[in-house]
Structure 1
Amino acid sequence: MSTILKRSEVQQMDTWKLEDMFPDQQAWDSSYNELKTLKEKAADYEGKLNSPENIKAVFALEDDLSLKIERLYVYAHLSHDQDTTNPTYQALVQKAKKLSVEVNEALSFITPEILSLPEQELDQLIDNPELSDYKFTLQEIKREKAHVLSKTEEALLAQVGNLSQAPQQIFGMINNADMKFPKIKDENGNEVDLTHGSYIQFLENPNREVREQAFKTVYETYRKQKNTIASTLSANVNKNMFYSQVRKYPSVLEMSLYGDNIPKEVYTNLIDTIHESLPLLQRYMKLRKKLLGVNELHMYDLFAPLVEEYKWDITYDEAKKTVEEGLQPLGNEYLEVLRAGLKDRWIDVYENEGKRTGAYSWGAYGTHPYVLLNHKDNLNSMFTLAHEMGHALHSYFSDEALKYRDAQYTIFLAEVASTTNEALLMDYLLKKSTDPKQKLYLLTYYADQFRTTVFRQTMFAEFEKIIHERAEAGESLTPQELSSIYYDLNVKYHGTDMVVDQDIEMEWARIPHFYTSFYVYKYATGFSAATSFSKQILEEGKPAVDRYLGFLRSGGSDYSINILKKAGVDMSSPEPIREAMSVFKEVIEQMEQLTK
């Protein structure tokens, strides 16, 4: 679509059907008013959560309130995202946000009050058949008990909450507002702006001088701020240590994994198994060097295109058809829901004036999921469609199988279903492709996903682990120390076929994820679990599909590790990561064959 349409000009069939959530604005208003009154009921239970009857009743009320506010909130946001310039929807979002805060406040007494019960009483509640629907919730509350402090201490920690945001906020201001990069010259010798947004595009430029210039300019700029940014990162590590000590966790890493109940071995296994597989990444670096035809492969060559610009136009209709064909191995039950989603206007397809950028899947329990796209006729958009429909169908099957409280899956699981779809689509496209150039284009796309999502994120995860361990051992994190750790990791990962430019030692300074500590490993574990699932589905057929549909139907009804284990992927062992690496090895071998 060449011209960007106004929202009112977009064909109805290319928009999502929000009436499935609320038939009209009047219905939204009436639900909003009803909730305003209903939330007052919560106060009736305060100070009375000492009997199974009252606990059951308050949980039922909590579910009712949470579901109603979720619907109001999601509808307001979806309406706003389709046209952010519309003042009616801007106001709707504000109203929903404000009411959401009020609902959370009204319910905030529940967990602390149950936690204040003696342990023996808590155990009786967990085993009480009256409360069987809430068994997992009560087990989770009990699990938290060891790390919850007295009422006064908790109130004090809540006040410290604002201070704890400081390292991330200060880094955000330096990185997004204050830091300006000098202009660089493009391939035609014109001076152009270098920004955070354009940096990766410059690294993808076929012209090597442009890539090198962008790379060096970015890291020279960060180097000038190294002392300040080292202070913000060090402050963030100190903040984490403060919380882990106060809440009685053995380490920051274990505190970060506790929420999802992830064993420490999942984290350490990932790093150890990726170390085992570093020769594969280094083999890919060697191949990259050969395909680019350079004497030395530098860090700024990692995003350079390996196939001369391969033009592949894929319309939205073709993308839908191909995704459906690529997901055939998942069987009829899955495909029927997928077809319904593609046909029944779950998806908002094209860009229009004022529409939010990017793509996502979102929704509220009890109505089908919704998917926002900004479709362009290219390969990336087709994979985005497969990815977002993976999220959507995960939500659909969880919602269909479970009660509201158990249906919401964790972030640890969120990327698995979406990436499984991508892996199956990739397998289908590679098997179908007869054009060697197209095949190499696909293989490069896939190999780079392994490089960026598994190896790079694991290297980030290892960096976080090292800096926290050193701080916990009483060492200080100077800019020199941070740069040295980061540089050595790059050398270890990329191997001797690559010139690891000294400038890369400053990359730690530009990664915002380091301020959401111990999060990035989930990208690598999610990708590995998905690759393992897709391999099992393609090799075993129906038994693996049945296990996988069981995973999609499990939502958040158990701990993430258990849900995956039941479905045949044990993330506490190195096996899924090894399986993913065997797929990466096949990709490299195919690339080597094509380029002999």
Structure 2
Amino acid sequence: MPKVLLERKDVDVNLTWDLSTIFKTEEEFEAVVSKAQRLTEELEKEFKGKLNNSKAINSCLDKLREITQLSMLASTYAYLAVAVDQTNVENQSRQMKLSNISSDIQSKLSFVQSEIIEADEKIIEATIEESKENSGYLKDIIRQKKYALHPEVEKTLSALSGTLGAPYQIYNRAKLADMDFGTFAVDGKEYPLSFGLFEDEWEYEHDTKIRRAAFEAFSKKLREYQHTIAGAYHTQVQKEKTLATLRGFDSVIDSLLFPQEITRELYNRQIDVIMEHLAPHMRKFVKLLQKIHGIEEMTFADLKLDVDPDFEPEISVEESKKYIKGALGVLGDDYLEVIERAYNERWIDFVQNKGKSTGAFCSSPYGSHPFILISWTERMREVFVLAHELGHAGHFYLAQREQNIFDTRASQYFIEAPSTMNEMLMANYLMKTMDDPRMKRWVLSSIISRTYYHNFVTHLLEAHYQREVYKIIDEGGSVQAATLNKLKRETLEKFWGDTVKINEGAELTWMRQPHYYMGLYPYTYSAGLTIATEVSKRILTEGQDALDDWKKVLKAGGTKTPVELAQMAGVDITTDKPLLDTIAHIGSIIDEIIKLTEEIEEKQ
């Protein structure tokens, strides 16, 4: 049974991340914030109204890079402190204070982009020729020129950036600070419940009675907040629509795809092809789960069940090192250095505690090292999650070593490829080193029920639902809780057909994910995993050549478009082929799981 969550102050400090590697003291943090403010005022005084020649522009951008780095370090520090304890008033206060300061800095610096956009294109081209360091930033300016607003409007929007980000903050406060799930009872016995406990523990519970009772209690608490969260979400999408219209985009979807450097065709294909072609394979997998567990009727609350519930190995944080290093070592000594440092220098926050953000993520501030949040449950599945987050860490560690701060971040379309690639490498490693049929089946079923389910089902269904929301908003409509519940239920029913009963509470799943406050993010998980799947197959057949290509991709950071990055790795994402091949690969894994299950049952 899951343990009651401790307060942050009571957890083992050795299993928490060490934010002192960013700032050792509060005074150091405040000094960096003050320096960013001072440099901003100096830059504004020196360059405002004077960005009309290549020398001035490059000199200004050289100084802007330093301010950007200082601001990123400060905001990351403030955010990460809150992420591990949403109940800490001191951390919340620091973040909110910094948010106001950051808005003021952004407002004062907004003239840089506005003046460069207004400059003659020949001057911008000359500026690009004179500075490789600033070329990426300037090329992006040229792309944005068509959609730029008046400089004073841009300045106002920058000043309001903290306020415009409020919907996401409201969502997190409601979810992680206000929602008290208490306990739920089964046959007279009380069990603890929280957002984290449900998503990390109870969703995977093998006892159907307990699992479904947890789902019911969890859904009941979500329902109490549905109108508040729907209000925050509507504000978010309406804000995005207003900005898209102001900038002259045809739709909010086009506006959100613009920074990803991806066409509407690639976006729609990812959603439509998976909805049509993957659903039959996943329904087959769910029927196998139903048979193994002897469930009369599969419901939405049963979808996270394991193929072999009595088998999943337990694993400590210390033991995970062997698997992580064994699987990811193929990426070379510099990559292994990232892994060693991540464990030894406390880059990773492993503990579970009250107020900690759910799920897992990696934050990689330029000028520091990456930080990974995860909630370790002593289960082997966490090795895949950790490998995933180390994929982000390794990507940005290498990119930041090779590129300047303007050029490190790849398009959001590509961002999940390095992380999901590591899950593929972990599966390849385990399949190669394990002979036991049950272990092989566990590895393959983990790849389906976690890696592909998470990226090709959970997030893809988010993307399908999200697209329907934006269609309503683009047509001038609005969305309330009832509408959002209806859209989510329809999406789930379309994918699962009559194989899974979409029971009451499933429609509230839209309340569980923060991705809706991050633009068109959900669909990119399957896009990244499509690239990762095809590259991992290349690695199995071509070996070092494919690995060398992949390392070049990681080091390229944001200097290439998603299409170009995929091409560097040997994948052409301008066609249906990689996606259809990946779906066929998923189907073949499911068939192998079924075959192994039959063999294991024959021997028993």
| Range of TM-score over shorter length | 0.7 to 0.9
CA contact (8 A) 1:458 1:521 kept: yes
Match of 2:284 in 1: 283
Match of 2:441 in 1: 440
Q: Which residue type is aligned with residue 502 of structure 2?
A: V
Deviation at 1:232, TM superposition (A): 5.8
Cα distance change, pair 235–72 in 1 and its aligned pair in 2 (3 A): closer
Match of 2:602 in 1: none
Match of 2:601 in 1: none
Match of 1:203 in 2: 203
Q: Which residue type is aligned with residue 265 of structure 2?
A: E
Paired residue secondary structure (2:308) = coil
Match of 1:566 in 2: 568
Could you tell me how far apart the structure 2 residues matched to 1:131 and 1:143 are?
18
Q: Deviations over 1:143-176 (max 9, x none)?
A: 2222222245546666886876676666667666
Match of 2:539 in 1: 537
Match of 2:124 in 1: 125
Q: Deviations over 1:84-138 (max 9, x none)?
A: 9999999998997777566545533211121233xxx124322442244322212
Could you tell me how far apart the structure 2 residues matched to 1:360 and 1:236 are?
22
Could you tell me how far apart the structure 2 residues matched to 1:293 and 1:302 are?
14
CA contact (8 A) 1:320 1:342 kept: no
CA contact (8 A) 2:176 2:356 kept: no
Deviation at 1:208, TM superposition (A): 1.9
Could you tell me how far apart the structure 2 residues matched to 1:27 and 1:475 are?
48
CA contact (8 A) 1:69 1:99 kept: no
Deviation at 1:383, TM superposition (A): 2.7
Cα distance change, pair 96–216 in 1 and its aligned pair in 2 (3 A): closer
CA contact (8 A) 2:136 2:406 kept: no
Counterpart of 1:108 (choices 107, 110, 124) is: 110
Q: Which residue type is aligned with residue 571 of structure 1?
A: I
> Larger deviation: 57-66 or 358-367?
358-367
Paired residue secondary structure (1:413) = coil
Paired residue secondary structure (1:269) = helix
Q: Which residue type is aligned with residue 265 of structure 1?
A: E
Cα distance change, pair 524–82 in 1 and its aligned pair in 2 (3 A): closer
Cα distance change, pair 28–206 in 1 and its aligned pair in 2 (3 A): closer
Could you tell me how far apart the structure 2 residues matched to 1:81 and 1:9 are?
17
Could you tell me how far apart the structure 2 residues matched to 1:96 and 1:229 are?
25
Cα distance change, pair 148–536 in 1 and its aligned pair in 2 (3 A): same
Deviation at 1:7, TM superposition (A): 9.8
Could you tell me how far apart the structure 1 residues matched to 2:470 and 2:550 are?
36
Deviation at 1:235, TM superposition (A): 5.3
Could you tell me how far apart the structure 1 residues matched to 2:511 and 2:316 are?
40
Q: Deviations over 1:395-450 (max 9, x none)?
A: 22212222332123344333221221121111211232233333333333221121
Deviation at 1:24, TM superposition (A): 8.9
User: Paired residues, what number?
Assistant: 588
CA contact (8 A) 1:127 1:135 kept: no
Deviation at 1:34, TM superposition (A): 6.0
Could you tell me how far apart the structure 2 residues matched to 1:515 and 1:343 are?
31
Match of 1:487 in 2: 489
Counterpart of 2:552 (choices 538, 550, 553) is: 550
Q: Which residue type is aligned with residue 272 of structure 1?
A: D
Match of 1:379 in 2: 380
Match of 1:498 in 2: 500
Match of 2:523 in 1: 521
Alignment of 1:48-447 (within 5 A): 48-71=50-73, 103-117=105-119, 121-128=120-127, 129-151=129-151, 153-154=153-154, 184-186=184-186, 188-192=187-191, 194-200=193-199, 201-219=201-219, 233=233, 236-274=236-274, 275-310=276-311, 312-330=313-331, 332-338=332-338, 341=341, 345=345, 347-348=347-348, 351=351, 360-366=361-367, 368-369=369-370, 371=372, 377-447=378-448
Q: Deviations over 1:244-286 (max 9, x none)?
A: 2222111111111112222112211111220222211111122
Cα distance change, pair 278–87 in 1 and its aligned pair in 2 (3 A): closer
Deviation at 1:594, TM superposition (A): 1.9
Cα distance change, pair 359–463 in 1 and its aligned pair in 2 (3 A): closer
Alignment of 1:27-42 (within 5 A): 37-42=38-43
Cα distance change, pair 566–354 in 1 and its aligned pair in 2 (3 A): same
Deviation at 1:300, TM superposition (A): 1.8
Could you tell me how far apart the structure 1 residues matched to 2:24 and 2:123 are?
44
CA contact (8 A) 1:269 1:572 kept: no
Cα distance change, pair 561–351 in 1 and its aligned pair in 2 (3 A): same
Paired residue secondary structure (2:260) = coil
Q: Structure 2: which 5+ residue stretches go unaligned?
A: 599-604
CA contact (8 A) 1:182 1:217 kept: no
Cα distance change, pair 325–122 in 1 and its aligned pair in 2 (3 A): same
Q: Deviations over 1:287-318 (max 9, x none)?
A: 11111112322222112343233352334443
Could you tell me how far apart the structure 1 residues matched to 2:545 and 2:259 are?
32
CA contact (8 A) 1:531 1:579 kept: no
Paired residue secondary structure (1:434) = coil
Q: Deviations over 1:338-365 (max 9, x none)?
A: 4653686364576499997776544544
Q: Which residue type is aligned with residue 136 of structure 2?
A: F
Paired residue secondary structure (1:185) = strand
Cα distance change, pair 194–74 in 1 and its aligned pair in 2 (3 A): closer
Paired residue secondary structure (2:147) = coil
Deviation at 1:220, TM superposition (A): 5.7
Paired residue secondary structure (1:286) = helix
Quote the sequence identity (%).
25
> Larger deviation: 380-389 or 229-238?
229-238
Deviation at 1:540, TM superposition (A): 1.7
CA contact (8 A) 2:103 2:159 kept: no
Q: Which residue type is aligned with residue 436 of structure 1?
A: P
CA contact (8 A) 1:263 1:572 kept: no
CA contact (8 A) 2:86 2:355 kept: yes
Q: Which residue type is aligned with residue 460 of structure 1?
A: E
Q: Which residue type is aligned with residue 341 of structure 2?
A: G
Q: Which residue type is aligned with residue 463 of structure 1?
A: Y
Deviation at 1:588, TM superposition (A): 0.9
Rg comparison, structure with higher value: 1
> Larger deviation: 466-475 or 394-403?
466-475
Match of 1:594 in 2: 596
Cα distance change, pair 271–385 in 1 and its aligned pair in 2 (3 A): closer
Paired residue secondary structure (2:49) = coil
> Larger deviation: 439-448 or 257-266?
439-448
CA contact (8 A) 1:363 1:370 kept: yes
Could you tell me how far apart the structure 1 residues matched to 2:238 and 2:16 are?
47
Cα distance change, pair 459–76 in 1 and its aligned pair in 2 (3 A): closer
CA contact (8 A) 1:299 1:500 kept: yes
Cα distance change, pair 383–142 in 1 and its aligned pair in 2 (3 A): same
Cα distance change, pair 41–261 in 1 and its aligned pair in 2 (3 A): same
Paired residue secondary structure (2:406) = helix
Could you tell me how far apart the structure 1 residues matched to 2:395 and 2:482 are?
45
Cα distance change, pair 376–189 in 1 and its aligned pair in 2 (3 A): closer
Cα distance change, pair 554–350 in 1 and its aligned pair in 2 (3 A): same
Deviation at 1:561, TM superposition (A): 3.5
> Larger deviation: 442-451 or 504-513?
504-513
